[in-house]
Amino acid sequence: MSTDYRPMWKDLGLDLEAHDALLGVLGPLYEQTFTKQPHRPDGMKYFDFVMSEVHGLRIQELIDAKKAGRKVVGSFCTFVPEEIVLALDGVMVGLCAGAEFATAEAEKYLPRNTCALIKGAFGFALARVCPYLAASDVVVGENTCDGKKKGYEIFKDLVPQLHVMDLPQTKSAEGRALMRAEFKKFGTYLEGLTGKKLTAEALQKGIAKVNAKRAAMHRLAKLRAADPAPISGLDGLLMNQVYFYDDPDRFTSSVNAICDELEQRVKKHEGVAPKGTPRILVSGCPMAVPNWKLPTIIEKTGAVIVGEESCVGERGTQALTADTGRTANELLDAVVDRYLKIDCAIFTPNESRVNHVLSMAKELGAQGVIHYGLQFCSPYQIEAGPVEKRLEQEGVPTLRIDTDYGQEDVGQIRTRVEAFVERLRG
């Protein structure tokens, strides 16, 4: 970062020493993981810039937005409807939860056998090193798993404002009614916070902006079906991660620009790895910044990741919201219908998820699936067994990896991934 942002971080109440320590690790890790990849598309320079300023310029933009009267809404989950936030002139950002930080402090509030994502969220908050959290006017929690549900009861004391949405566990009529009531309540809450009205016109604009962002990611996903793969899995994941942080219009424009470049690569049969390189679909738990451990191991074994069936990936972007409603209520129904399609493991039964994994593997030409589970994430770890069984029955080799944010198991995971890639090579 060329600008001295320390006065801004101090005003936000960050612990400057701890924050410096965090950036001192993140910068070199990013350089080592991303910038030295061979045959990277030129368009990735934009995302390198975004990441270089992820705690700088983007935070300054959020502060400028607040000064202009907009509200910043922080979230940890893909179930929080960005359409409603944008309709009320808010700015939505993802919050820090993708690394171990202040774990000992977090474990004073949480059991040790809590999943790394929840523990990471607490660690970043307690250590005061997440500028996105510090800049948020409100944090929106969601009762997805039991860990989050009970965790928010404690987390509310760590942030100025917390709004928690209840979520259904089934895709039934009753489940849809619950989600609609909670989205309606969320809209009413934001109306009070922003002083604006959730009109049909405003909601149409919010839907259009988010649909454009998702459509750009759909375009990227289709290009990743090409062999040779025109972009690495690491860079594909990075774009999905930046999806949660960047200005929506600028992000959409940047993704479409890189898609233009990838289309030329596909026409010329150019890629980041030779044609015939083993192709892998990663499925399972979300990978928030800077959780790049497993994708790095996979691609260093000589395979290429062609898609992510994850909240930070296809699951988070897979469907557009219908924009044909004429009233605010009709458009809210469309938003609910779109979010009820998300194949999160909190739903039971969840057959549509494994069907979607199979569909993605076929469309992307993936020869195998690696199912990624965060330790102590019960919904995904328990669902991993049936997913593996069904995929293997359908002839799709599958490897289950359960891990956390630590580095102690890198060697063990590498050995298992190498053996799996050899299996794919036949």
Q: What is the pLDDT of residue 126?
A: 98
Over the stretch 242-258, which tens digit does the pLDDT of each residue have? 999 999 999 999 999 99
Integer CA distances (angstroms), 263 to 65, 257, 270, 360, in order: 35, 10, 10, 20
- Provide the residue-wise pLDDT of the chain in tens; the chain has 426 residues: 779 999 999 999 999 999 999 999 999 999 999 999 999 999 999 999 999 999 999 999 999 999 999 999 999 999 999 999 999 999 999 999 999 999 999 999 999 999 999 999 999 999 999 999 999 999 999 999 999 999 999 999 999 999 999 999 999 999 999 999 999 999 999 999 999 999 999 999 999 999 999 999 999 999 999 999 999 999 999 999 999 999 999 999 999 999 999 999 999 999 999 999 999 999 999 999 999 999 999 999 999 999 999 999 999 999 999 999 999 999 999 999 999 999 999 999 999 999 999 999 999 999 999 999 999 999 999 999 999 999 999 999 999 999 999 999 999 999 999 999 999 998
Query: Across-strand partners of 282?
Result: 308, 370
Cβ-based neighbour number of residue 288 at 10 Å: 22
| String of DSSP letters for 271-304 | -SS-TT--EEEEEES---TT--HHHHHHHHTT-E
Cα separation, 162 vs 164, in Å, equals 6
Q: What is the pLDDT of residue 169?
A: 97
Neighbouring residues of 167: CB distance < 8 A, sequence distance ≥ 6: 79, 142, 143, 144, 178, 179, 182, 346
Cα separation, 77 vs 121, in Å, equals 12
Helix (H, G, I), strand (E, B) or coil at 38: coil
Neighbouring residues of 269: CB distance < 8 A, sequence distance ≥ 6: 228, 275
Cα separation, 308 vs 312, in Å, equals 8
Q: What is the pLDDT of residue 2?
A: 73
Query: Angle, to 10 degrees, between the axis of helix 44-52 and the axis of helix 233-242?
Result: 50
What token pair was written down for 400? 């289950």
What token pair was written down for 285? 């738990």
Where would I find the H helices in 101-199?
Answer: 103-106, 116-127, 131-135, 146-155, 173-194
Burial class of residue 336 (count of CB atoms within 10 Å of its CB; 0-12, 13-18, 19+):
buried
- Evaluate whether 178 touches 340 at the Cβ level (below 8 Å): no
Cα separation, 168 vs 178, in Å, equals 6
Q: What is the pLDDT of residue 426?
A: 87
- Evaluate whether 371 touches 383 at the Cβ level (below 8 Å): no
For the chain, the C-alpha Rg in angstroms (whole number) is 21
Q: What is the pLDDT of residue 164?
A: 98
Residue of 72, 76, 77, 109 lying closest to 90 (CA atoms) = 72
What token pair was written down for 143? 């009762």
What token pair was written down for 180? 């609609």
Cα separation, 183 vs 324, in Å, equals 19
Where would I find the H helices in 68-145?
Answer: 82-87, 103-106, 116-127, 131-135
- The single residue listed with the structure tokens 């993704």 is 255
Helix (H, G, I), strand (E, B) or coil at 412: helix
Cβ-based neighbour number of residue 395 at 10 Å: 8
- Evaluate whether 307 touches 234 at the Cβ level (below 8 Å): no
Cα separation, 106 vs 111, in Å, equals 9
Burial class of residue 414 (count of CB atoms within 10 Å of its CB; 0-12, 13-18, 19+):
middle
- Evaluate whether 182 touches 165 at the Cβ level (below 8 Å): yes
Read off the pTM. 0.97
| Kind and range of the H or E run holding 91 | strand 91-94
Cα separation, 298 vs 304, in Å, equals 7
What token pair was written down for 193? 């916070």
Neighbouring residues of 28: CB distance < 8 A, sequence distance ≥ 6: none
